[in-house]
């Protein structure tokens, strides 16, 4: 999860989020190089008195500053499209979790099992145990297995919501009357926090998401204790 004064992303916990972080660093380096070049040219123009009149009408210069931006855009677009298709790719899921947004809580249903559904409300600050996080803890966590493809079916009962977990690179809108789908897979166990990322009313800030990712063995034990 995020910590105070953090400037970068949260630690990636899924292959998709790792790719997004790599793409961010790749694009940031290109932007840094362009900014440095522009700053150097501006400083050069302000500090030197030398001019070269023949470069003002040179075809070579116009060719370079037309082709170079096109090449840079291609270097950004190709990895971006690759990640976009990776995020939209739907593999055969090992588990399906249906998520419904409400004002102002989430409800979850494990559709592969009978009668396994619950609501998840934010824990009030006065009921928090030592070590729990204010405005991020819930009364019922979502328990999921690691290293398995999980299909998320996301919708809403009332207004627009957005089911978002930054560490996993997942952000999917919950729209009334529409069922959106996302694929979730984690590379390591842990507890991952998220929040609704769509302004949905007065208590928009008070509907957090908590995922508890555990190995398959512990997930099966949790199922046996719940069913």
**Residue-range domain boundaries for the chain:** 15-88, 95-226
Most confident of 52-56, 89-93, 150-154: 150-154
15-88 CATH fold: Helix Hairpins (1.10.287)
Using the predicted structure, report yes or no on whether residue 51 has a pLDDT greater than 70.
no
Comparing 57 with 202, the larger pLDDT belongs to: 202
What's the Cα-to-Cα distance from 226 to each of 115, 142, 192, 216, rounded to whole Å?
Answer: 10, 12, 21, 15
Q: What is the pLDDT of residue 194?
A: 93
Comparing 150 with 88, the larger pLDDT belongs to: 150
Homologous superfamily of domain range 95-226: Cupredoxins -  blue copper proteins (2.60.40.420)
Using the predicted structure, report yes or no on whether residue 53 has a pLDDT greater than 80.
no
Q: How much is the mean pLDDT over the chain?
A: 89
Question: CB-based contacts of 177: which residues, under 8 Å, 6+ apart?
Answer: 155
Cα(211)–Cα(184) distance, integer angstroms: 11
């Amino acid at each position: 999860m995020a910590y105070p004064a953090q400037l970068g992303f949260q630690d990636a916990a899924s292959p998709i989020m790792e790719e997004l972080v790599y793409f961010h660093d790749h694009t940031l380096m290109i932007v840094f190089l362009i900014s440095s070049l522009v700053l150097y040219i501006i400083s050069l123009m302000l500090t030197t008195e030398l001019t070269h009149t023949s470069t003002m009408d040179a075809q070579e210069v116009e060719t370079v500053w037309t082709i170079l931006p096109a090449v840079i855009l291609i270097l950004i677009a190709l990895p971006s499209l690759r990640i976009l298709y990776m995020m939209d790719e739907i593999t055969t899921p090992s588990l399906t979790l249906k998520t419904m947004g409400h004002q102002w809580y989430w409800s979850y249903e494990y559709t592969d099992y009978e009668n396994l559904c619950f609501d998840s409300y934010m824990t009030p600050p006065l009921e928090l145990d030592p070590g729990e996080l204010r405005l991020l803890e819930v009364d019922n966590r979502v328990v999921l297995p690691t290293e398995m493809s999980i299909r998320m079916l996301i919708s809403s009962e009332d207004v627009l919501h957005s089911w978002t977990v930054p560490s996993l690179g997942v952000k999917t809108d919950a729209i009334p009357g529409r069922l959106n789908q996302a694929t979730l897979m984690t590379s390591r166990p842990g507890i991952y926090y998220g929040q609704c990322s769509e302004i949905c009313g007065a208590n928009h800030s008070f509907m957090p998401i908590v995922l508890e990712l555990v190995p398959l063995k512990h997930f099966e034990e949790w199922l046996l204790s719940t069913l």
